[in-house]
């Protein structure tokens, strides 16, 4: 199973709607970076509203993919972080200090557009 990545103008949209297994998470990481490269995406919104549990491996992959996307020049907004996920991320020491967050996909896209001055 792979996670679909949607291209909308200069942005990529991803909605993770089911718990990720390790293989799917790694595949997603690879696919997203490839897609940023191919499309010259200026920003990415990753919506995790449907995720209410995250383990340390998935949290690390998520943290990594944000860092890597930044290195490639794409801003990342994470949307819909549920309370248990926020707690887990903090407990695991996954730093999302300078990651933009928003309540849902729409607000995430707005934030990205503001950030990129459009």
Percent helix / strand / coil, the chain, rounded to 5: 45, 20, 35
Residue 21 Cβ, how far from a copy of itself at the closest point, in Å?
12
Q: Pick the closer one to a copy of itself by CB: 21 or 91.
A: 21
Cβ–Cβ < 8 Å for 23, 56: no
**E strand or H helix at 31:** helix 22-39
What is the smallest separation between the CB atom of 95 and a copy of itself, expressed in angstroms?
Answer: 27
In three-state secondary structure terms, 101 is strand
Q: Among all chains, which residue has been given the structure tokens 């001055």?
A: 117
State the nearest-atom distance from the C-beta of 1 to a copy of itself, in Å.
5
Distance CA 33, CA 38 (A): 9
Q: Which is nearer to a copy of itself, 1 or 97 (CB)?
A: 1
CB of 109 to a copy of itself, least distance (A): 7
The nearer residue to a copy of itself, 66 or 105, going by C-beta atoms, is 105
Strands 11-15 and 43-47: what pairing? Answer: parallel
Question: Considering beta carbons, is residue 30 or 106 the nearer one to a copy of itself?
Answer: 106
**Interacting residue ranges for a copy of itself, rule: CB under 8 A:** 1-9, 13, 15-18, 47, 104-106, 109
């Amino acid at each position: 199973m792979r996670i679909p990545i949607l291209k909308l103008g200069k942005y990529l949209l991803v909605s993770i709607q089911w718990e990720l297994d390790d293989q799917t998470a790694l595949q997603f990481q690879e696919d997203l970076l490839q897609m940023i490269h191919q499309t010259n995406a200026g920003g990415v919104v990753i919506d995790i509203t449907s995720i209410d549990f995250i383990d340390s491996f998935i949290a690390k992959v998520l943290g990594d993919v944000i860092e890597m996307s930044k290195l490639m020049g794409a801003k990342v907004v994470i949307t819909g972080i549920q309370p248990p996920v926020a707690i887990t991320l903090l407990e695991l020491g996954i730093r999302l200090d300078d990651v933009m967050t928003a309540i849902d996909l729409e607000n995430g896209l707005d934030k990205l557009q503001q950030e990129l001055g459009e």
